[in-house]
Amino acid sequence: MQNVLQYLPQLLGAAFKYTIPIAVISFVIGIVIALITALIRISNKRGVMLVVKAIFRFYVWIFRTTPLLVQLFIVYFGLPYLKIAGIAPDGIKLVPFTAGILTFSLNTGAYCSETIRAAIIAIPKGQWEAASTLGMTRRQALQRIILPQALRTSVPPLANSFISLVKDTSLAASITIIELFEVSQQIAAANFQPLLMYSLVALIYAVFCTVLTFIQGYLEKITSRYTIA
Amino acid sequence: MLKLTNINKTFGDHHALKDINVTFNEHATTVILGPSGSGKSTLLRSLNFLEQPESGLYDFDGTILDLNKPVADKDIFRIRRETEMVFQNYNLFPHLTIVKNITEGPVQVLKQNKATATEKAHELLAKVGLAGNENKFPSQLSGGQAQRVAIARSLAMDPKYILLDEPTSALDPELELEVLKVLVEIAKEKRSMIIVTHNMAFAQKIADKIIFVENGEILFDGSKETFFHSDNQRINDFISAMTFTDI
């Protein structure tokens, strides 16, 4: 046991250098993508907007119906072969970190957009009507009345997505990112203690995710102040 | 003056409003009566475009809108600023305090400054008998209190017309009475109110004019004296079904 714990600093180093930054950055970008996607998909505008909506629907469909690992492979190993004359004649080559962030952001964005869209749709019609009768525009109603309420119901499922994302970053090992899981694999290969090494790394993920559930609890509390009668 | 000419509204196969012609006067309280599903709520909601009729003319204080064509957003927003709807289920904003529920429209839509709007909100809350509840959330109020906040919220917009869609149908008789008292006080100020209600005693007390709607048509449009002493069999049947006279 003693000799496994000596690797802890090395593992945590990888976690703080890659695992956590990839998860946090991807989640922040993913939420922005999700919000934009959700708002476009609930839009009731016609004309060009119908084409835009179709594009975003396609985006959500493709990321929800294909494995994350395959998505990572396409972005990192596949895109270098996508040669676009004038824009990327030599293919799109991304460093592993960027490829990881891009894929995780888009993947999380697709899932979270459905969460946010569902939360918006679930707000009673009467809230829209009350905002309308005050003379608010659709945008004002969304910003002031609908989204603040939708946000509250979104917190638990969004926290779920974040927790999944933290664990999914272990897949980044497959595109040569030296993150937490990759480091544990390297150590296990050298010290022949796979059971202890992988158990230790599992424990580290569990600790991180547990901290996140506490943050979720706090967020739920502050966003639902108004329901405490 | 609000005037509807040959208004039609359908929901799928259901013809909710059939060639409606009606005028709502300013500084008067008009009560719309009728059985459930008669089209009275649809008629009221059409007045501020929560429902959009397919055909007819809408004369809003001299601005005549042709409902056969798409109505411009700016016309809809203007009309909504001058007509406020009070809903059966209050529809208060649950994430905002009581005072913010009331100032939201004036600050966001009318661009009033916050301090002025807040001061006015306090006055209005006192007027509806809820002073001291400014910082509560809607979930902390009874139904009667919530509806009085909704009335204060509509008054804060200083609308020309207040539209009330069965404002007390979700309340028990005791809470209903506290809301009705507030409405009777507002009616005395000679504001323009249009109320859909099932409460006949309240209608008799507050109405300057009564409109009786059935099957999407207006069967009666006149004074309450005439309505409550009508010789029309259908109206008499309705009145006796709604009151205890036959029991």
CATH number of A57's domain: 1.10.3720.10
Query: CB of B130 within 8 A of CB of B154?
Result: no
Q: What is the mean pLDDT of residues A121-130?
A: 96
Q: Is B84 on the interface with A (CB under 8 A)?
A: yes
Q: Is A136 on the interface with B (CB under 8 A)?
A: yes
Q: What is the pLDDT of residue B243?
A: 76
Query: CB of A11 within 8 A of CB of A182?
Result: no
Residue type at A125 in one-letter notation: K
Residues in chain B, pLDDT under 70: 244-247
Dist. CA B110–CA B153, nearest whole Å: 13
Instruction: Specify the pairing of strand B209-214 against strand B192-196.
Output: unpaired
Contacts of B139 in chain A (CB under 8 A): 226-229
Q: What is the pLDDT of residue B222?
A: 92
Q: What is the pLDDT of residue B190?
A: 85
pLDDT at A1 over 60: no
Q: Is B104 on the interface with A (CB under 8 A)?
A: yes
Q: What is the dihedral of CA A43, A48, A53, A55, to 10 degrees?
A: -160
Give the Cβ contact number of residue A215 at 10 Å. 11
Residue of B nearest to A145 (CA): B93
pLDDT in tens, B114-166: 999 999 999 999 999 999 999 999 999 999 999 999 999 999 999 999 999 99
pLDDT in tens, A6-42: 899 999 999 999 999 999 999 999 999 999 999 999 9
Domain extent, residue A222, equals 2-227
Dist. CA B35–CA B53, nearest whole Å: 21
User: Which residue, among A120, A125, A133, would best test binding to B if mutated, counting the most B CBs under 10 Å from its CB?
Assistant: A133
Give the domain ranges of chain B. 27-53+83-242
pLDDT at A229 over 50: no
Q: How far is A227 from chain B (nearest CA, A)?
A: 6
Dist. CA B182–CA B184, nearest whole Å: 5
Number of domains in chain A: 1
Helix axis angle, A96-122 to A20-42, nearest 10°: 40
Q: Is A152 on the interface with B (CB under 8 A)?
A: yes
Give the Cβ contact number of residue B210 at 10 Å. 23
Q: What is the pLDDT of residue A2?
A: 60
Catalogue the E-assigned strands of A99-186: none
* Lowest pLDDT segment from A48-57, A99-108, B181-190: B181-190
Query: CB of A101 within 8 A of CB of A23?
Result: no
Q: Is A145 on the interface with B (CB under 8 A)?
A: yes
Dist. CA B145–CA B63, nearest whole Å: 36
Q: How far is B76 from chain A (nearest CA, A)?
A: 8
Rg over alpha carbons for chain A, rounded to the nearest Å, is 21
Contacts of B85 in chain A (CB under 8 A): 129-130, 133
Please name which of B41, B53, B56, B24 lies closest in space to residue B164, comparing C-alpha atoms: B41
Has domain B27-53+83-242 been given CATH number 3.40.50.300? Answer: yes
Dist. CA A147–CA A132, nearest whole Å: 15
Q: DSSP of B219-246, one letter per residue?
A: EEEE-HHHHHT---HHHHHHHHHHSSTT
Q: Is B207 on the interface with A (CB under 8 A)?
A: no
What value of ipTM does the predicted structure carry? 0.93
Q: What is the pLDDT of residue A161?
A: 96
Q: Is A135 on the interface with B (CB under 8 A)?
A: yes
Q: How far is B95 from chain A (nearest CA, A)?
A: 6
DSSP assigned state of B96: S
- Residue B226 phi/psi, 5-degree rounding, is -65, -40
The partner residue sitting opposite A134, judged by closest CB among B109, B139, B140, is B109
The partner residue sitting opposite A144, judged by closest CB among B92, B108, B157, is B108
Q: DSSP of B33-66, one letter per residue?
A: E--TTSSHHHHHHHTTTSS--SEEEEEETTEEEE
The partner residue sitting opposite B94, judged by closest CB among A133, A140, A226, is A226
